Amino acid sequence: MASGNEEKIESGFNDVPETKPKKDWILLSLRVVAFLATVSATLVMSLNKQTKTFVVATIGSTPITVPLTAKFQHTPAFVYFVVANGIVSLHNLVMIAMYILGPKFHNKGLQLALIAVFDTMALALASSGDGAATAMSELGRNGNSHAKWNKICDKFESYCNRGGGSLIASFIGLILLLIITVMSINKLLKLNRN
């Protein structure tokens, strides 16, 4: 009879450690992929630049050409996008480092609350940066006939394509940040229930 109780106790102890690290590894892998997505979005947009030469006038039979450059710095929304994704990348990198140094820091109480708050702030920052850059990308792709703003993506195609790729990577990071935030808040709520 004593051996039956020991088997139940042993199986109970073996079940608990296996489920907790699995959830932590899921959270860590989501953070790593979110970090890679946001840092790639930051790098692609910050290196986004294209120069083309346009004919602006013709004097006699001689064309007058002007080189024009499209850079992300020319649009404040894209600058905000780069800064926001850079900060979110840094946040995820710090959280990954905290997980790796996990035995030194215990995930209890205030630390879990701060992680949940910072994850929510990172989610809001990434969301606002993505929204601003998406609005400007839409304007660059289609223009605005009511405001008489011309589209530029027909002239700077590779610039717009790289910007679109950067937005896709950032939205992938945003979706992962949403999942991470829900998991962080859920972890905090489970601690408060106990």
Would residue 2 count as lying in a domain? no
Q: Domain range spanning residue 110?
A: 24-193
Q: How confident is the model at residue 188 (pLDDT cuts 50, 70, 90)?
A: confident
pLDDT higher than 90, residue 151: no
Q: Are 122 and 91 in contact (CB under 8 A)?
A: yes
By three-state DSSP, how is residue 59 classified? strand
Place of tokens 């993506």: 153
* pLDDT single digits (tens) 97-149: 888 876 566 656 677 888 889 999 999 999 999 999 999 999 888 888 888 78
Cα–Cα distance for residue pair 189/183, rounded to 1 Å: 10
- Size (the chain), residues: 194
Question: Global pTM?
Answer: 0.80
Would residue 117 count as lying in a domain? yes
Would residue 152 count as lying in a domain? yes
* pLDDT single digits (tens) 35-74: 999 999 999 999 998 888 888 888 888 888 888 888 889 8
> What pLDDT is attached to residue 24?
75
Give 163: exposed, middle or buried? Use CB within 10 Å, 0-12, 13-18, 19+.
buried
Q: How confident is the model at residue 11 (pLDDT cuts 50, 70, 90)?
A: very low
Would residue 131 count as lying in a domain? yes
Would residue 12 count as lying in a domain? no
Would residue 109 count as lying in a domain? yes
pLDDT higher than 70, residue 93: yes
Would residue 167 count as lying in a domain? yes
What's the whole-number average pLDDT of the chain? 84
Domain total of the chain: 1
Would residue 142 count as lying in a domain? yes
Residue 150 CA, distance from chain mean position: 30
